[in-house]
């Protein structure tokens, strides 16, 4: 099919492979970003508009009252105002990228015309206009996707716990240091000093690694990993391939955002990230709320589908926007932010060194960036903007806003960011774990992941030789829980756990029994400690989608193992376990783990016909195939790998990838769910890159022509 559109320099070829993934070839960089915007709008138009509305505080127009918490927050944060400001400060290359991408999105809108709502099932019954895409909208979409990954949520929970039950109990929400903690730099080294641990919140579970050629079959590196986020419909990432004379990149991107900021490769280098868990957000509490003269206020109306509009007051202070009447939030991304300057530059990188240098502009989120190149180099870099604090208290909880000794005195210098290339062990990795082994580097974060995934990855990579893409996929799907067998022994003589090997496979009844019992134990700790009464505290429900009380799930296991009964309200562990077993026997009917832990993606519109089918799934928060659940809301998989990839530097066409659901976002599309079975079973699907491989995989071909 040929289609004439305005704004192109020349023809654009779009080939769709057997998975529906688009491979775009353009005559200029402008046309490459235009093409990416066009195919994103073709595959994920509703998602683009929904994420834009979320960032603008207008999602309730689509989803009704369920959108009010997020809309209120994002209005108060003024993501839109920040994005407009930052667009003007970006480099010419970044502004050109965003402008070309927006033109591509709008070209797709023009092809649909005024009947677009009738053509797409998500828009049925929604009488709202689709405004043209503006370049700054991409900044809004990117930030709304990352705000709740910041450090504010655990600070709020610790503050709630501390105010209710005292600072000693709040400290228990950060588990004690452990000699089992491993660092990214140097890779796999045991950490010095106390290392707190992040429990199973929504986004925990990401892994990545690069193996040097000394450990691979080809003699050149392999780079692999799997980001974890809440499982959504549509999926947060979309596969794609865009080429022009300046660069040729295959990877995963976010609909609404140009480039490939997280995962991808060109002809010389591959890159990927995990969340660095950096401390990038601070909260300031006012004893006396700022007056109108200090920062407003202004009242905005949030339109709500099928309901009356809701007023929200928006105010700013010298400490940042007020997210409640007396609480201001400072976020590194809200300071003048030119992080998107890195996006066009990184696509041209030719080496690990060169890629890392393009990251000087990067702001948010802070990431563990891992890379590998055709010269055989592998490397690790912490990228992002991390504040240097005047006093350490802000790392723990909200601090007094009126105290001038709290605040930031700049950011960690790029030269001081942890960085490593070609270590002797032959690999680099990250798993949301502690970044630096030594305690004398820059302060990066208080909360990090528990050590189990990192330990399993390091042990596996350390034993690898002659590794292939298949070996990378095998590590992706590893469901052995290192703490499970140890904890299972402490959970009493419950017969369903006899002889269990600690693997949370979908067909395992023992894995289900273990998980049900751990959930009941966590519920008991929540009740006996008195914390259950504070779960619905406004501060603990301030951030949309975050369930910080899930920290109790890990704390309960840690305290059981340590014999610490301080959270049991006078009970002994023997009594608590007896009661937990009684509850588990009542709650569990013998179903296998995959049945209880099945996926449950739900479309934001709440219409059952838009939801994808559920599938059985394995793993849990402690396994490499991380698949967390929200213990107090059920056992179904809430978060999981939103992509898996293994890039073969020696032969890009041997690489593989997979996403949950599929490449298309529209329910009913033939590529809406066609990768789900491969994703469920941990298989990687072809990721053709060369001109020859793309042509061989072609299922459809279109051309965009200048009008």
Just list the catalytic residues: 206
Longest CA–CA separation in the chain, Å? 77
Specify burial of residue 22 (Cβ count, 10 A radius: 0-12, 13-18, 19+): buried
3-state secondary structure (DSSP) of residue 615: coil
Distance between CA atoms of 93 and 98, rounded to whole angstroms? 9
Closest to 62 in 3D by CA, of 544, 601, 605, 602: 605
Distance between CA atoms of 98 and 134, rounded to whole angstroms? 8
By the 8 A CB rule, do 155 and 398 touch? yes
b/e burial code for range 146-166 (CB count within 10 A of at least 16 → b): bbbbbbbbbbbbbbbbbeebe
Distance between CA atoms of 423 and 212, rounded to whole angstroms? 9
By the 8 A CB rule, do 210 and 370 touch? yes
**If you ran DSSP here, which 8-state letter would residue 402 be given?**
T
Helix axes 92-112, 29-55, angle to 10 degrees: 80
Which spans in 2-149 are helix H? 29-55, 60-63, 68-77, 79-89, 92-112, 116-119, 137-144
Distance between CA atoms of 338 and 340, rounded to whole angstroms? 6
Calculate the alpha carbon distances from 617 to 115, 508, 620 in Å. 39, 11, 9
By the 8 A CB rule, do 369 and 261 touch? no
Distance between CA atoms of 83 and 338, rounded to whole angstroms? 10
Distance between CA atoms of 283 and 407, rounded to whole angstroms? 10
3-state secondary structure (DSSP) of residue 678: helix
Beta bridge partners of 451: none
Structure tokens at 560: 């059981």
- Tell me the CB-side half-sphere exposure of residue 84, using CA atoms within 13 A: 4
Which spans in 114-269 are helix H? 116-119, 137-144, 152-165, 167-172
Structure tokens at 305: 């589908």
Kindly give, in sequence order, each residue whose CB lies less than 8 Å from that of residue 687, ignoring residues fewer than 6 positions away.
239, 250, 645, 647, 652, 653, 655, 656, 657
């Amino acid at each position: 099919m040929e289609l004439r559109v305005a704004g192109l320099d020349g023809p654009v070829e779009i080939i769709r492979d057997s998975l529906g993934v688009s491979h775009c070839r353009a005559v200029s960089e402008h046309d490459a970003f235009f093409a990416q915007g066009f195919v994103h709008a073709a595959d994920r138009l509703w998602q683009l508009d929904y994420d834009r509305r979320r960032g603008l505080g207008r999602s309730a127009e689509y989803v009704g009252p369920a959108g009010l918490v997020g809309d209120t927050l994002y209005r108060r944060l003024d993501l839109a105002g920040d994005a407009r400001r930052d667009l003007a400060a970006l480099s010419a290359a970044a502004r050109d990228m965003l402008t070309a991408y927006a033109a591509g999105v709008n070209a797709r809108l023009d092809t649909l015309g005024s009947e677009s709502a009738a053509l797409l099932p998500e828009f049925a019954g929604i009488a709202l206009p689709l405004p043209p895409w503006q370049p700054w909208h991409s900044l809004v979409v990117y930030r709304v996707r990352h705000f709740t990954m910041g450090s504010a949520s655990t600070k709020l929970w610790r503050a709630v716990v501390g105010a209710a039950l005292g600072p000693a109990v709040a400290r228990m929400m950060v588990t004690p240091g452990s000699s089992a903690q491993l660092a990214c730099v140097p890779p796999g080294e045991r950490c010095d000093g106390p290392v707190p641990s992040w429990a199973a919140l929504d986004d925990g579970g990401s892994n990545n690694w690069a193996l040097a050629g000394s450990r691979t079959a080809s003699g050149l590196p392999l780079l692999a990993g799997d980001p974890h986020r809440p499982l959504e419909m549509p999926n947060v990432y979309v596969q794609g391939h865009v080429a022009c004379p300046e660069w040729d990149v295959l990877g995963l991107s976010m609909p609404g955002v140009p480039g490939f900021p997280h995962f991808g490769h060109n002809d010389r280098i591959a890159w990927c990230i995990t969340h660095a868990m950096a401390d990038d957000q601070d909260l300031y509490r006012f004893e006396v709320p700022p007056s109108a003269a200090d920062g407003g206020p202004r009242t905005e109306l949030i339109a709500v589908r099928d309901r009356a509009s809701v007023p929200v007051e928006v105010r700013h202070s010298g400490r940042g926007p007020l997210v409640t009447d007396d609480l201001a939030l400072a976020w590194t991304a809200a300071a003048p932010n030119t992080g998107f300057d890195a996006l066009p530059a990184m696509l041209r990188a030719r080496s690990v060194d060169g890629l890392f240098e393009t990251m000087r502009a990067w702001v948010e989120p802070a990431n563990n960036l891992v890379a590998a190149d055709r010269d055989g180099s592998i490397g690790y870099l912490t990228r992002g903007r991390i504040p240097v604090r005047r006093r350490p208290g802000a790392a723990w909880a909200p601090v007094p806003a009126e105290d001038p000794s709290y605040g930031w005195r700049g950011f960690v210098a790029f030269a001081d960011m942890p960085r490593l290339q070609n270590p002797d062990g032959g690999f680099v990795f990250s798993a949301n774990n502690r970044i630096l082994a030594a305690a004398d580097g820059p302060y990066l974060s208080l909360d990090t992941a528990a050590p189990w995934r990192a330990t399993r990855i390091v042990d596996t990579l350390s034993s690898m030789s002659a590794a292939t893409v298949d070996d990378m996929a095998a590590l992706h799907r590893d469901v052995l829980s290192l703490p499970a067998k140890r904890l299972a022994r402490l959970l009493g003589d419950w017969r369903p756990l006899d002889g269990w090997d600690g693997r949370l496979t979908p067909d395992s009844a023992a894995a289900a029994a273990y998980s049900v019992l751990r959930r009941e134990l966590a519920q008991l700790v929540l009740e006996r400690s008195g914390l259950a009464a504070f779960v619905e505290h406004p501060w603990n429900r301030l951030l949309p989608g975050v369930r910080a009380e899930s920290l109790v799930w890990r704390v309960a296991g840690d305290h059981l193992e340590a014999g610490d009964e301080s959270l049991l309200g006078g009970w002994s562990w023997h009594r608590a376990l007896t009661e937990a077993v009684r509850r588990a026997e009542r709650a569990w009917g013998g179903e296998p783990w995959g049945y209880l832990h099945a996926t449950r993606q739900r479309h934001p519109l709440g219409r059952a016909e838009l939801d994808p089918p559920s599938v059985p799934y394995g793993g849990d928060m402690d396994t490499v195939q991380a698949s967390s659940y929200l213990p107090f809301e059920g056992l179904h998989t809430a978060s999981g790998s939103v992509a898996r990839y293994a890039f073969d530097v020696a032969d890009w066409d041997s690489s593989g990838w997979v996403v949950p659901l599929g490449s298309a976002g529209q329910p009913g599309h033939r590529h809406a769910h066609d990768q789900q079975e491969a994703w469920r079973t941990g298989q990687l699907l072809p990721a053709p890159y060369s001109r020859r491989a793309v042509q061989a995989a072609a299922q459809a071909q279109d051309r965009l022509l200048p009008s």
